[in-house]
Structure 1
Amino acid sequence: MHVTSRGPIDGPPVLLIHGNCSSSGFWEPLVRHLPAHWRIVAPDLRGYGDSPALPVDATRGVRDYADDVAPLLASFATKPVVVGHSLGGGVAMQLLLDHPDSIAALVLEAPVSPYGFGGTRDLDGTPTTPDFAGTGGGAANPDFVRLLAAKDRGTDEQASPRNVMRAFYVASPESFGDDEELLLDTMLSTATGEDNYPGDGSASENWPGVGPGTRGVLNTLSPRWLNLTGIVDLPAKPPITWIRGDKDAIVSDGSFFDLAQLGKLGLVPGWPGEEACPPQPMIGQTRAVFERYGNYREVVFDDCGHSPHVERAAEFAGILQEIVGA
């Protein structure tokens, strides 16, 4: 596993876990605002950045990623603050489940719902269909996958990585500043295929005709395989700070990556209606689970999208400094 580190070994420890279709380099806009004496460690998850594209067993949820990262917890002089973005937020919650005594605090930035991504209808994570139709690798946009595999840097096609990053990773692409090419590099480092992104899929008798598979990134997030709600039963609960943008279009109650929401908007044909297939209430689900967990606070950035640490780096760094200082 490729790991980027900075700062003295005995400095205040922070572990940064990046999200889907990015790498450790996606933290750079934040890291430059953090104190030089902190010990910062940021791994590239398997299949991203400079880490090898090892196969991902989605039937374990995000445990392959969490198991890869877990040895880093012991590399610090004291318990680290663990920061996870999007997919990385799910990995951070899995680390908390597996190693609750090794984590000082969690900072979850736009994390995946504890019930997974897509395919659930209410705050209790009730499956929309028995086979979790509309989730997993089969739900990916094939044009985006094709252009990601080709490492396309253009804007000619709507589904190009650059256009997707500009439209969905942030609320305003101007917030990239001089970092756009760097951040696009992290996106294009994603390994593609059935063992990595997006993963395999399966046929379904339920709308939209595809279901989750057993391999690759998007299947790790399918509620068929992922359920992180066990954090509410931990005997010791490190504090959780949940940070999100109010204009997040990826993890939201109306996500543009949830096929039920796209069907509701008429962008995917044949949607069976609100009663049969409502969009997933991702924010509501996360809040409901965290309320049961108890030791948490929610921070919402106005006019901000999926990546507050990029869009509002100085403010994000200030919150992180409060948490590390505590």
Structure 2
Amino acid sequence: MTENVAPTLSRRAPAGEPAPRPRPGLFAVLTFLLALPALPQCNFTPVFSDQFRSSILDLAIDGNDLWAATSYGVALYDRSVDPPRLVAAVAVPGTTHLLRLGNGVAYAGSGNSLAVLRKNGRALQLIRTVDAGAPVNDIAVTTLALFVATRNGLAQYTLDGSTLYVARGDSTVDVFTISPIVQHTGTIVAPSSVTAIHAHDGIVFASTAVQTYIFVAGNNVGSIPFSMTSLAPLAGDVSFAGSTDRTLRAIDFTIPGSPITLFRDDLPPSGGTINRVTSVATSGGRAYVGAGDIGIVDYDVSAFTAPFPMRSTAFAGATSIVSL
């Protein structure tokens, strides 16, 4: 029995005839297809940048101009209207969290850079940026000098007249006079590491992680039970103070060792990630509170003057008697 098997075709070149070669057309097509990339090559070029939100991290006032560090850059508000109206904004490289005014310009701390800006009509102009070599922690501006604290060793500055106080991140605060020359005049030692420093009218406030120590003439005379992050004088010995929470306080420091809280208000939280008082600025009967993602909160404090009400008690059912 013979099994039928499908024949296999094969071709041999006759004697003297060269063997068949692969078809060059088909080989070229296959090589071309294999050389194609899976996706086309694209060169991406930034053409537009804009902020998604304004996180108010610092405030400064110059006349009717309210300046704000917004994390994205610097914004300018017109405070001649209530509430203040946004006039202009400019992007600054890095996270812009500090703002100081002086000598006709604005100095902004943004990441590792110090940015110099100025108002040009109704616009803001970024003049230049200077690499500080490390993250900028604070800025102090005088007529003849600009002091920049960086993470390389300095935590924060504060000026009180011609006296400069420098927190180094440990428990010491260095004291300098800056007129006519910069000269070290003393050191204040706090009970624990100082995270922020403020001063007004000879009173120094050294903030730690949980409380703020009060110093007069280098002596610790008392404390307040919160970490002060900002201080804005109102009148006399009364100042507004911000802390690491959402609470704004007005405190009377007439007796520095026995401060009296005259007013407090808890700002409403926002849906953002920064819900705390970051800065306070006062001018012309107004108090402006920068509060991160909460925004700028505007208070009318024109009637908040001495004598301040301290305590009141309501008596129900009171009557009067008239005798003739």
Q: TM-score range by the shorter chain?
A: under 0.3
**Which TM-score applies when normalising by structure 1?**
0.25
Greater helix share, 1 or 2?
Answer: 1
Could you say which structure has the larger radius of gyration?
A: 2
Larger fraction in strand: 2
Q: Tell me the TM-score normalised to structure 2 length.
A: 0.25
